[in-house]
Amino acid sequence: MRNGPHRWARRLYSAALYLSAPLIWQRVWREQVPTRSRRERLGSIPAATAGERCIWLHCASVGEVLAARPLIVALHGRYPQHRLVITTMTATGAERVAAIAQELAAASESDGKVSHHFVPLDFPGAPRRFIARLRPELALLFETELWPNLIAACDRAGIPVAVVNGRLSPRAFRRYWRIRPLLADALARVDWLAAKSRTDAGRFRRLGMPAARTTVVGSLKFDLEVSATVLAASQRLCQALGPRPVWVAGSTHPGEEAILLEAHARLRQHYPSALLILVPRHPQRFDEVARLCREHGLPLARRSRDEWPEARTAVYLGDTMGELLILYGAADLAFVGGSLVSVGGHNLLEPAAMGVPVLSGPALANFSDIADELRRARALVEVANGEALSATLLRLFDDEPERHRLAEAGQTVVAANRGALTRTLEGLETMLPE
């Protein structure tokens, strides 16, 4: 057990959590699967069976689970004697874990080797209870999931902790800088940081992560593998939609859909048959976005209801889970959301890996390193606002050779930057007991 340099900061943090408990419970109350007990939030999970070996990976939500998928698949294959437990904060993340578990079970006939729990809230007792019952041999925290009491519980139990695909956006760094004694105490207990870039590693070091326990491995997002099943489904959808102009807006946020719908309406003045496949980031907003489409006078079909986008349909609402790659691959162009509003963007590599030209707004703080790689290859088209977006859509739909060039450049960037998964697995090998 290591003593962090600022243990007092964690005591103050825990006291603040207790004072905020009603607000915290209100926030997580809706993030639940009906068949699961809310007591999981307090660490009350079934105890591991005697002799069972376990690796634990924590991802915040569905986006992180999707980004971690290559690592999940690799761990499942490399450590068949271990059960892989994945925790999330959200119910949508739980659903995505269940889907991956089913895929892996079907492929390997090893049902039960991947399972899910909700992560315990970071009150001091809940993480201790969770760790005592799960008894993992290794704890992996994905990207920025730095929960001080959870990390301290692992340290107290002698469980090595790795932060994988570690990243800190400028906004996250500023937020953590205000509580850096607390972060310094937590990071002193982290055994290995697999940072996705030198910039991210530097931000972690400024918060207290020892340089000797830090390695820059690159971004796991570049190791995205597109399965033959996804490719086939995407090709079938593309063929079914026919020769009409199709573009996707994926992972969109409040305030962004209205801009996109207005840009699409302007595009349809030149291309009356143009179809927008609109995929909101959060499923609880699907009905709200459907109403917004109708308010804009755009004929709508909803994928969740098996409604087909006919010739007069202007918007195809992708209101299903886990199908974004399929929808990206069926389009001529892809706009990645969270970038016309101050969210910081989402994964630009998903459409690039599917061979689709990538468009975004200017707010890309969460993916600045990936955006830089795409810019250097002239594989990213950035627009400042809705008017620029509609003009860019019109220009690119008029220029098929440029669409092909953008698509090829994006795929080249993805292929050239692979390798983070291999480097991450090599680092983790030194942390697992024989």
The domains of the chain are located at 7-18+32-218+419-429, 228-416
Closest CA to 141 of 121, 161, 160, 119: 161
Tokens of 16: 């603040």
State the DSSP string of 259-304: HHHHHHHHHHHH-TT-EEEEEESSGGGHHHHHHHHHHTT--EEEGG
In CATH terms, are 7-18+32-218+419-429 and 228-416 the same topology? yes
The CATH number of 228-416, from 3.40.50.2000, 3.30.460.10, 1.10.10.10, 2.10.25.10, is 3.40.50.2000
CA distance 417 to 231: 21
- What pLDDT, on a 0 to 100 scale, did the predictor assign at position 3? 63
- What pLDDT, on a 0 to 100 scale, did the predictor assign at position 232? 96
Cross-strand bridge partners of residue 432:
none
- What pLDDT, on a 0 to 100 scale, did the predictor assign at position 322? 84
* CATH code given to domain 7-18+32-218+419-429: 3.40.50.11720
Our answer to whether residue 408 is catalytic in this structure is: no
- What pLDDT, on a 0 to 100 scale, did the predictor assign at position 4? 59
- Which residues neighbour 4 within 8 Å (Cβ) at sequence distance 6 or greater? 10, 152, 184, 185, 186, 188, 189
CA distance 144 to 147: 9
- What pLDDT, on a 0 to 100 scale, did the predictor assign at position 21? 85
CA distance 300 to 3: 58
In terms of C-beta density within 10 A (0-12 exposed, 13-18 middle, 19 or more buried), how is residue 17 classed? Answer: middle
- What pLDDT, on a 0 to 100 scale, did the predictor assign at position 418? 93
In this predicted model, what pLDDT tens digit does every residue of 58-111 receive, in sequence order? 999 888 998 899 999 999 999 999 999 999 999 889 988 998 998 888 877 666
- What pLDDT, on a 0 to 100 scale, did the predictor assign at position 109? 62
3-state secondary structure (DSSP) of residue 359 = strand
User: Catalytic residue among 40, 64, 143, 145, which?
Assistant: 64
CA distance 117 to 123: 17
* Tens of pLDDT, residue by residue, the chain (434 residues): 666 567 789 999 999 998 988 888 877 777 778 788 888 999 999 998 888 899 999 999 888 998 899 999 999 999 999 999 999 999 889 988 998 998 888 877 666 689 999 999 999 999 999 999 999 999 999 999 999 999 999 999 999 999 999 999 888 999 999 999 999 999 999 999 999 999 999 999 999 999 999 999 999 989 988 889 999 999 999 999 999 999 999 999 999 999 999 999 999 999 999 999 999 998 889 999 999 999 999 999 999 999 999 999 999 999 998 899 999 999 999 999 999 999 999 999 999 999 999 999 999 988 888 999 999 999 999 999 999 999 999 999 999 999 999 999 999 999 999 999 999 999 999 998 76
CA distance 10 to 27: 22
- pTM confidence score: 0.83
- What pLDDT, on a 0 to 100 scale, did the predictor assign at position 136? 96
Q: Within the chain, how many helices (H) and strands (E) appear? A: 18, 14
